[in-house]
Amino acid sequence: MDLDLSPAVTAFRDEVRAWLAAHVPEGLPSMDTASGFAAHREWERTLADARLAVVSWPAEYTGRDASLLEWVLFEEEYYAAGAPGRVSQNGIFLLAPTLFAHGTQEQRDRLLPRMARADDVWAQAWSEPEAGSDLAALRSRAVRTDGGWLLSGQKTWSSRASFADRGFGLFRTNPEAARHKGLTYFLFDLRAEGVTVRPIDQLDGEPGFAEIFLDNVFVPDCDVLGAVDDGWRVAMSTASNERGLSLRSPGRFLAAADRLVDLWVSRGDLSSRDRVVDAWIGAQAYRLHTFGTVSRLAEGGELGAESSVTKLFWSELDVALHETALDLLGADGELAGPWQDGYLFSLAGPIYAGTNEIQRNVVAERLLGLPR
């Protein structure tokens, strides 16, 4: 890949940088609280008004038709400017690529503009009490009815479902079929009759997760994503995006690495120099790796099992960056603040988007060809 940026790409990056410098809000409250969630929703509408909420989407859906390279650069500028994590991330980074790949025109027209403006914030409703790593063990089901389906079951660990508007998840539509078959991907309203959302407190005490209970919740046919009984294939397209590209772009880690270097300089602690350098190089390596992924996709390649390698890398990098910062801070690291918050969240990286133990199994079996 040619890493010299064209004048058009440089102009886009400069525009983004200037806009963010003028608009990024000062320290929004956590999006895992009701007031923080509302404040983040407002920020995402500001982004959408500037047509910067979903730059890689087509212009008809308030995007910029930006290339994946431009999207990566946008993300770098976004985090370098100190802008907050995206409350709509499950929708724009996980569901939207799946809608572009598997949705109908009607679904795209109806759902994407509302997603881009955070009018609908989406929750991922995949995990169940007995189906986390082994997602195909899920028991929630959907039964055919007039004009649609009735969904029943229990989902858990659904990020921001406490405050979100809609959910996407897999339900068993053919109990006779093999485990991975007979599943269908549904979109549903979290405020529909029959839905109960019960918040769960996270490590930091905020209700960032929720359990979702569904009791004969009606979903019309137009909210089936992909073909009936073909949900596993559709879900794997979501999972590859989550692990391999869209959910965690390098910008977030580059910004953290730069802050870590500043912290190290301010502390003047020579003994931790090598760890700081390693973490900084890790962020740069992830950036170059992502450019490689973007090139591969631009040339018609696909995100496949390689996504597991990417996920292992970014999740471990995040922990290393934050552990190094806390060690540098010493006793001050015990105090509440951005490094402490970031550290607590980094601990979840090896779990969400598929645990790292499972990703190692995927790498061993599917990429290295080792026996089970």
Ligand X SMILES: Cc1cc2nc3c(=O)[nH]c(=O)nc-3n(C[C@H](O)[C@H](O)[C@H](O)COP(=O)(O)OP(=O)(O)OC[C@H]3O[C@@H](n4cnc5c(N)ncnc54)[C@H](O)[C@@H]3O)c2cc1C
- Report the C-alpha gap between 256 and 276 in whole angstroms: 11
Token pair, residue 312, equals 């292992």
**Contacting residues toward ligand X, per CB under 6 A:** 124-127, 132-133, 157-159, 348, 351-352, 354-355, 357-358, 361
C-alpha to C-alpha distances, 175 to 129, 183, 217, 225, 335, nearest whole angstrom? 19, 9, 18, 19, 51
CB of 61 to ligand X, least distance (A): 23
Closest CA to 283 of 110, 79, 42: 79
Question: Nearest approach, Cβ of 110 to ligand X (angstroms)?
Answer: 23
What are the distances in angstroms from CA 354 to CA 134, 185, 231, 360?
Answer: 10, 18, 17, 10
Shortest approach of ligand X to residue 133 CB, angstroms? 3
In the complex, the smallest distance separating the C-beta of residue 156 from ligand X, rounded to whole angstroms, is 7
Gap between the Cα atoms of 28 and 36, Å rounded = 7
- Residue 242 catalytic? yes
- Residues in CB range of 336: below 8 A, 6 or more apart: none
Comparing C-alpha atoms, which of 315, 302, 178, 147 is closest to residue 237? 302
Contact 179, 137 (CB under 8 A): yes
How many C-alpha atoms does 236 have within 13 Å on its Cβ side?
13
Least separation in angstroms between residue 58's CB and ligand X is 26
Kindly tell me which of 5 and 319 has the beta carbon lying closer to ligand X.
Answer: 319
Please, which residue, 135 or 283, has the CB nearer to ligand X?
135
CA atoms within 13 A on the CB side of 278: 14
What is the C-alpha separation between 207 and 204, in angstroms, rounded?
9
Q: For ligand X, which is the closer residue by CB, 102 or 311? A: 311
Residue among 12 and 314 whose Cβ is closer to ligand X? 314
Nearer to ligand X, 60 or 341 (CB): 341
In terms of Cβ atoms closer than 10 Å to its own Cβ (0-12, 13-18, 19+), residue 288 is exposed
Query: Nearest residue by C-beta to ligand X?
Result: 132
Of these residues, 128, 242, 302, 306, which one is catalytic? 242
Residue written as tokens 């350098």? 277
Shortest Cβ distance from residue 123 to ligand X (Å)? 6
Name the residue nearer to ligand X (CB basis): 250 or 354. Answer: 354
Catalytic residues: 242
